[in-house]
Amino acid sequence: MSLFLSASSNVMLCIDLLQGIIFFSLTGLGIWGNTFLFVRYVYTFVMSSEKKVIDFIIIHLVFSNAIIIYSNGIRDIAPVFRFRNFLGSAGCKTVVYLGRVARGLSICTTCLLSVVQAMTISPSTTLWGKLKPRTAWQVLPYLLLCWVINLPISSNLLFYVTAVGGVNRSTIRAYGGHCFLLASRHTVRWLFLCLMALRDVLFQGVMGWSSGHMAFRLYEHHKRVLYLHSSRLVVSSSPEIRATVNILVLMTCFLFFFWTDFMFSFYLGFMVAHGVALLYVKFFLELGYAVLSPFVLRSRDGCGAKAQNAH
């Protein structure tokens, strides 16, 4: 019996160690990448005489993704170290609400980034080209609009999220860590679900439209360069084209993680029991875009630096 208990405790110790490694590897990488990129872009934006529109949007995107990682990290640190009531009800409400708001901000900002880049590579004679913002401050109202849209959409969490405390667990469901979501009226639940779904469909529809426009412009550019020069010169095209390709990669990354997470969450919703492996897949999908996006954007900087050195 003692041998069985000893083996069981060793297995639990290995699981806890694995949890800690996965948790700190993913969140640590995301925190480092987003913090580094945020500081770099803010410094460049403040010190540069020319305030670039794309840089301003990327600052907001990186800031939103950093909030997602920090809020999820604080929320999920409790089960890793087996802390009980680590946050309390106020702490749970704050981190869960901020995480949900930041997720919405990430969607809206990624959409805005896609639209502005589509305008940037469009000829000035077209409608897209004429709508292109000339200064960074012209996109500020749109970023503020993102906050106005997302702050109320997630406000129900401030009322229905709590720490487990003395609440009857049969009436709540886990939200992450030791934070739980209380049951709400069907009207309230469906109202906020519909608002979130409308936001996601609207912004991802615009994102898809602008991404399609960028892909079409890239195809036209590719044909034109092939006609005028050798195919080898296509690689050394303008920095705007390189940035467009990079942003298309970012859009693809976003859509992959968003829809994979959506379908996986839908699948978990019908399962009675959730294994540890499934929960870590869910954790990775939730943070995947926020963790990887700074490295995609960092490669965009590398392309820009090479183009400048070439000139």
Q: Choose between 81 and 106: higher pLDDT.
A: 106
Joined together, the tokens standing for residue 85 give 């009531």
Give 272's DSSP letter: S
Q: Are 300 and 243 in contact (CB under 8 A)?
A: yes
Our CA angle for 300, 305, 309, nearest 5°, is: 150
Helix (H, G, I), strand (E, B) or coil at 238: coil
The angle, 0 to 180 degrees and rounded to 10, between the axes of the packed helices 53-81 and 2-47 is: 160
- The helix (run of H) or strand (run of E) holding residue 182 is strand 179-182
Task: Give, in order, the Cα–Cα distances in Å from 133 to each of 83, 172, 265.
Answer: 49, 47, 38
* pTM metric for this prediction: 0.82
Cα dihedral sign for 101, 109, 261, 280? negative
Q: What pLDDT score was predicted for residue 147?
A: 95
Q: What is the pLDDT of residues 120-136, one digit of tens each?
A: 888 777 776 777 888 88
For residue 238, name the pLDDT band (cuts at 50, 70, 90): low
Q: Residue 286's closest CA among 249, 250, 260? A: 260
Q: 176 - beta bridge partners?
A: 179
The position carrying tokens 């700190």 is 24
Q: What pLDDT score was predicted for residue 235?
A: 47
Give the Cα separation of 240 and 212 in Å (integer).
16
Helix (H, G, I), strand (E, B) or coil at 177: coil
Give 236's DSSP letter: T
Cα dihedral sign for 166, 169, 174, 175? negative
Q: Residue 303's closest CA among 249, 258, 254, 236? A: 236
Q: What pLDDT score was predicted for residue 203?
A: 93
Q: What pLDDT score was predicted for residue 58?
A: 92
Q: Choose between 167 and 49: higher pLDDT.
A: 49
For residue 277, name the pLDDT band (cuts at 50, 70, 90): low
Q: What is the pLDDT of residues 154-207, one digit of tens each?
A: 888 888 887 765 455 544 555 555 677 777 777 887 888 888 889 999 999 999
Give the Cα separation of 56 and 115 in Å (integer).
14
Give the Cα separation of 117 and 138 in Å (integer).
14
Q: Residue 38's closest CA among 61, 54, 72, 68? A: 61
Q: What is the pLDDT of residues 19-30, one digit of tens each?
A: 667 777 788 888
Q: What pLDDT score was predicted for residue 94?
A: 87
Q: What is the pLDDT of residues 94-150, one digit of tens each?
A: 888 998 999 999 999 999 999 998 888 887 777 767 778 888 888 999 999 999 999
Level-2 CATH architecture, domain 17-157: Up-down Bundle (1.20)
Q: Residue 195's closest CA among 158, 162, 161, 155? A: 155
Residue spans in the chain of domains classed CATH 1.20.1070.10:
17-157
- CA atoms within 13 A of residue 220's CA, in its CB half-sphere: 9
